[in-house]
Amino acid sequence: MVSRYGNRILNQVVFAGIKSTRMIEPKTNGREIGDWLKEHSEASVGFLSFALLVLLAILDFRAPPAAQFTLFYVLIIAFAAWGGGKQLGLSVVLASSLILLTRAFRTAENHSLGWTGVWNMGMQAGIYLFVGRVMAALRILTKDLKWRVSDRATALEREVSERVQTEEQLMKTLQELRQLADNLTDVFWIRDAEGMRMGYVSPAYEKVWGRSTRELYLHPQGWLEAVHPEDRERVDRVVSDQKCKAQYEQEYRIVRPDGSVRWIRERAFPIRDGAGKLVRVVGIAEDSTQRRRLEREIIEVSDREHARIGQDLHDSLCQKLVALAFDLSSLEQKLANRTAPETESVRQMSALLDELITEARATARGLFPVQLESDGLGSALQQFATGVSARLQMDCRAECESPVCVRENAMAVHLYRIAQEAVNNAVKHSKAKTVRIWLGTTPARVELRVTDDGVGISPSQAAKGGMGLHIMEYRARMIGGTLTVARGPRGGTVVSCIAPQSPN
């Protein structure tokens, strides 16, 4: 009766196991048990675990007493704890221990259990509990590890994707910058901080310098050797002095292989790393020959027009004013002989006309300094200073070294105009009471210096500059010189222009 009832239960459990297996088979599709556990809930794992446990218990009870099924219980406990967690694993451990206890009492009906049997049963229950706890802990650690690995993998994937996008964007930007640099008419270059290696130079270098870029890469100082001998020392000094900050702007001449001369305007800027260390210098060089020629023509036209107006004032207006002064003087004499009351009025008109003639002549001399060609620059500056003192009632003097020799008349005109502009600025903006013009020459250079005792010029004003300052700077560049405007050591403003003398 018991055997028949047990066979019926066994048949039902086997049927249920086969049915659950058929339900699992289409979903697992031959994959591993671990993959199946990922896709099914803990309830499914628990049902399967207890079903297998019941099947194993029936087989264990029907087997001979000597048969051992301990390993199979351990496998079911491990399966339940791994797939269902700690609670399910402990439930299966408890069920397995009860089955073990029931089988032990059943066996004890025919055989004495003894202390050895109790010990073995306790050890098996302990093994069940240990396996369940270990597998549950491994499940938690594995899930945590998987989450960490998954999060890290996601972060790495995102980082790699962003880096790839950044590199692609960087490559695209570099290509665009290279295309832009290759099509510039100005020369764009990059060199290291020490100036010993040229990192890049645009193809425009070959058009402007008339030399190959390959030669410049092999010999980075080749561009300096092409600088005009009269400008080379100055250019080399500027580049060497500015290595600490690597920022400068200068204009110089170069000599092409065919002997032609080009004017170059060059600007350089520093590139520093995150620590502020200079790593490379970038610059752009512009061929300013055409611009300088146009500017020179404009200045020459302006000077010619000034000379024409000054000459017209001197030869026409001043002469007519002098004739009018003679007529007034004659009229005054006649009225005085008659003791007419209008004599005093005519005398005042004559005095006013004399002042007007003096100012007209000073203006004519300022527009057309005839002394530049006859007596030289020193005499023209002294005459100009005397006129300023008489006209503006201030102390203006010109001090010139003797002898003063300026070989080119064009240079003398530019220096004279610079002195004019500097004095006018001192009178209008600096509110000076005393102005000194100093001129000195050597066989190699000419130096003009204008100082005043006014309010002085601030660094921001010197950097910003006005139209007059820009014109003075341009005139200085026209003669290959440099202009500096700064506050004097005792206040006021100092305007200095130093230009090289042309060889005899």
Among residues 233, 192, 209, which one has the least CA distance to residue 286?
Answer: 209
Per CATH, 187-287 and 372-504 having the same topology is answered no
Between CA 275 and CA 383 the distance in angstroms is 58
Q: How far is CA 157 from CA 142, 165, 170, 405, in A?
A: 21, 12, 20, 78
Tell the burial category of 337 from Cβ atoms under 10 Å away from its Cβ (0-12, 13-18, 19+): exposed
Angle at 235 between CA 230 and CA 241, to 5 degrees: 140
Helices 70-84 and 114-182 pack at an angle, to 10 degrees, of 40
Q: What residue segments make up the domains of the chain, in order of their start? A: 2-154, 187-287, 290-368, 372-504
Looking at domain 187-287, its CATH superfamily turns out to be PAS domain (3.30.450.20)
- Tens digit of pLDDT per residue, the chain (504 long)? 333 434 443 344 334 443 444 444 444 443 455 555 555 566 777 777 778 777 877 777 776 665 566 667 777 777 777 667 777 777 777 777 777 777 666 665 444 555 665 666 666 677 777 776 677 667 666 666 666 777 778 888 888 888 888 888 888 877 777 777 677 788 888 888 777 788 888 888 888 899 888 888 888 888 888 898 888 888 888 877 655 555 788 888 899 999 899 989 898 888 888 888 888 888 889 998 888 788 777 777 777 777 778 777 766 777 778 778 877 888 888 888 888 888 888 888 888 888 887 777 777 766 766 455 545 788 888 888 888 887 778 899 998 877 667 777 778 888 888 998 898 888 888 788 899 999 988 878 889 999 998 887 766 666 566 777 888 888 888 888 888 888 888 888 999 999 888 765
372-504 CATH fold? Heat Shock Protein 90 (3.30.565)
